[in-house]
A and B are shown apart, each in its own frame.
Chain A
Amino acid sequence: MNSTSSFQNTSATGAVRRANAETFAPMSARRLLALGGIGLILVGMLVGDIFAVFVLHQNAAKVGESLSVAAHAAVAGDANAVVGSVQSVGSFLENRGTKVDTHVHMIAFGYLALMLAIVQPWVALRENTKKEVAWIFLFGAWLLPVGVFLIHYVGLAHSPLEAIGWASIFADLGGLLVILATLGCLLGIARRFRQSQRPALDDVLLKDRSAAGRILLAGGLILVLLGLFHGAYYAAADLYRHEVLDYSLLSKMSIAATAKNAGVVDTALGEYGQLAGEKAVNIAAHAHAIEFGLLAMLLAFLQPYVRLRESWKRNWAWLLLLGSLVLPVFVLLELRLGLLAGGIADVGGGLVILALFAMWIGIVRYTGEIDAGYVSMGARG
């Protein structure tokens, strides 16, 4: 009896190990999603950093200049110049908006890919189907941001539609593929719930309690909370005031232009630029604190697959959290300290990218020792 039970236990353990061994094998769905997800986040962050350094401030200055030209053309009574300048404002805003959207969607899809990687054992689909779903997800997750990035350059050229160009159409197709792949995973999870005799999961990612994982999880949760508190404070104290101010400053410009009062127009333009800066830094600080917190929490679960020495894993975890705190704090301080704070915020972003890249290398180096049931003996930092 005992030997039978022991044999059954051994078989069951073997089955679980075999099941687990499949979960992070090369080109498996989980590995594709984990590496693809971190890759998306890394590229999205690099795009964001390049955008912040080379485009954001220059673009904001051009928007301000064009608005100023429009307002002064109104003072001078030149309606044609007004229309041309407002169109320039629209073009600069579209340039800015599509680049922000590229950055945001790449990172968001990267997070979703990491999450889907972690929940893969709960997705009751054949491994081949899971792989196909993962490829569809990753294809869509790249197609959407690339399409969005090209919107500004492709415009409405050769488009069959009146307001939407080819780049937008491909971006929307990318979004549809991501939706379908996510829906596929959700159906797989629902299918597992319906199975009456589902085997218990023995997933090493969920059991891990390493120091690096705990640091990332607790630090990430605190960052998310700080971001939510800041967002709530901003919404309560400034959001509606800023909206009223946006309208009233434009109204002031328009009335002053009608009365040919260039001095008042200039004052209102200055205040409008200040307001735009205030809104931008508050929203950026809120969004980045929450996004970096989520990233830290996701990476906490993937630590068993990061093949680096424990001390190095802890160092990279702390570095990621440090960068994640520095960026939003110094983005907020930009209004007081100017470009110095902006530079420090960029360094914070760089620290996050560096730590994330190190973890990505660690995951690429992972050769399957945990899945195979061996204790890692040869991991090097």
Chain B
Amino acid sequence: MSAARRLLIVGGMALALLGMIYGGWYAVFAEHQELDGIGRSLAASFSAAAGRNAAVAQRALEQYRKLKYDYDRHVDVHGHWIGLAMLLMVLGIGLDRVSFSEQMKMLLATALVVGSFLFPLGVLLETLDHGSVPRALAVAGSALVIVSLAGVTLGLLRAETGK
């Protein structure tokens, strides 16, 4: 097994485990509480509106916005870590069909693994810090994945066309 293939398969399995463990932790310790909070804040906002209390209604909606923002990201992180992990493993299995040098394959594999880890991590950090650093991390991670995957596709098409 080449080093690049090993990196993709082992990195992919490790990332899948990370995504599953994170998902398990989230389902047990955070998801139900977050969903309850979303429902409660929405109910509180409309109830306050019924009582003609605009300030309380807005505060409750602000709470809803924060919880919904975090909930969407927590679910996305779980899904993307596992989804990208599976992509890494499949690419690892098929890497010998990519017509590039071992060095180039290693570069693409490294970029794929790093990008697949960083992109959901950036999304997760957005729940802790609303600044631009987590967002930049997510964008950089996803860009790494897309560019390196385009490279792998090119290498596969090169092999198919015999160039």
Contact = CB atoms under 8 A, between A and B. Distances in A.
B94 A243 contact: no
Contacts, number: 176
Interface residues of A, number: 73
Task: Please classify the interface of chain B as helix (H, G, I), strand (E, B), loop, or mixed, using the class held by over half of its residues.
Answer: helix
A124 interface: no
Contact of B153 (A70, A78, A193, A225): A225
Interface in B86-106: 86-87, 89-90, 93-94, 96-97
B23 interface: yes
Given A74-B50, A257-B49, A290 B57 contact: no
Nearest to A222: B153
Contacts of A94: 35
B15 to A, nearest CB: 11
Contact of B24 (A86, A172, A228, A300): A172
A140 to B, nearest CB: 10
A73 B50 contact: yes
B94 A300 contact: yes
A94 B36 CA distance: 11
A378 B1 CA distance: 33
Question: How many residues of B sit at the interface, in one of the four size bands?
Answer: 35 or more
Contact of A218 (B16, B48, B150, B157): B157
A219 to B, nearest CB: 11
B39 A86 contact: yes
A182 B17 contact: yes
A77 B49 CA distance: 8
Contacts of B39: 86-87, 89-90
Given A73-B50, A179-B20, A193-B6, A235 B142 contact: yes
A151 to B, nearest CB: 10
Q: Which of A74, A119, A172 has the most CB of B within 10 A?
A: A74
Q: Which of A70, A168, A185 has the most CB of B within 10 A?
A: A70
A94 B39 CA distance: 11
A280 to B, nearest CB: 13
Given A73-B50, A218-B156, A247-B65, A290 B83 contact: yes
Contacts of A186: 10, 13-14, 17
Q: Which of A77, A257, A300, A301 has the most CB of B within 10 A?
A: A257
Contacts of A73: 46, 50
Interface string B19-47: 01101100110001101100100110111
B125 interface: no
A247 B45 CA distance: 12
B32 A82 contact: no
B24 to A, nearest CB: 5
A76 B47 CA distance: 11
A189 B16 CA distance: 15
B131 interface: no
Interface string A150-181: 00000000000001100010011001101100
A297 B142 contact: no
Contacts of B68: 243, 246-247
Contact of A79 (B6, B32, B51): B51
Contacts of B23: 175
